[in-house]
Amino acid sequence: MVDNQLRDNDPPAAKEAYQKLLDAGYSMREAKEKIGAVALTEIYDVMKEKQSYDEKRYTNALAEMVQQSIDFEDTHKIITEWDDWDELVQRGYEVQNQQDEKQMISCWWDAWALFQQIMETAERKMSISEVMESQDYEYPVEAWLQDMEMELGNAGEYEKRMEFCNKVLEMFDWTYDDGNGFRCAVGEELYEAGKIEEAIEEEI
C-alpha cells in the first residue's frame, strides 16, 4: 500500500512525509512502517465510521506523525549524546585512578568536544546549575569541568587549559554561578606567558 502511494505520488503528502523521515535519519523500512501505520488508522476510521476517504485528514495525520517522529529523534539523539559524554568522562576518571595521565586527557578532551556539541543545541545560554538541573543532576557537569581545568594544568597542557577555560567562560551564564576558578586559571596562563597586564585584568 505504501509502496503504491510513493510510486504513484498519490497522495503527494505520503512521499513528502517519507522524504522528511529519511532526512531525519530514519531508514526506508522505518519510514514506510510509520506511513503505513497512519494509513491503516485512516482506513480503520473510514470503515468504522462508514465515511468516505478524506485526503486532507490523512495529510494532516501524516504531518503530525512526521513532526512527532522528528521531535523524538532529536530528543533521543541528545539523550544519547549525554550518555556518550558521560561514558568518556567516567573512562577518564578510571584511567586517572590508574595514573595514566595521557589517556585521561585524551578521553576528557574527546568528552569536551562532545560537550560543546551538546551545548550548541541549547536554545539559550544557561548557567552550569541550569544545565545540571535540566538533566535531573544525573551527570557530574560542574565537578568534571573543574577537574578538567585542574588536570590540564597538572599535565602541562597550558594552551589547552587556556582554550578550555575561555570557552567555558564564554559558554555559560555566570550571573549567579561562580566562574572565578576558570578566570584565575586564564590569568595564571597569561602571567606565565609574560602577559602581566592581561593577567591582572583577567583576575580583577
For residue 30, tell me if it sits in a domain: yes
| Residue 150 within any structural domain of the chain | yes
Residues 64 and 21: beta-carbon distance below 8 Å: no
- How do residues 82-131 score in pLDDT, each as one tens digit? 888 998 999 999 998 888 999 999 999 999 999 999 999 888 999 999 99
pLDDT at 134: 87
* Distance from C-alpha of 26 to C-alpha of 91, rounded to nearest angstrom: 31
Q: State the cell numbers at 98.
A: 590508574
Task: With respect to residue 194, please indicate whether it lies within any of the assigned structural domains.
Answer: yes
Taking only the tens place, the pLDDT of each residue in 163-174 is 999 999 999 999
What is the residue range of 17's domain? 2-71
Q: Does residue 128 share a domain with residue 200?
A: yes
Residue 98 domain-assigned? no
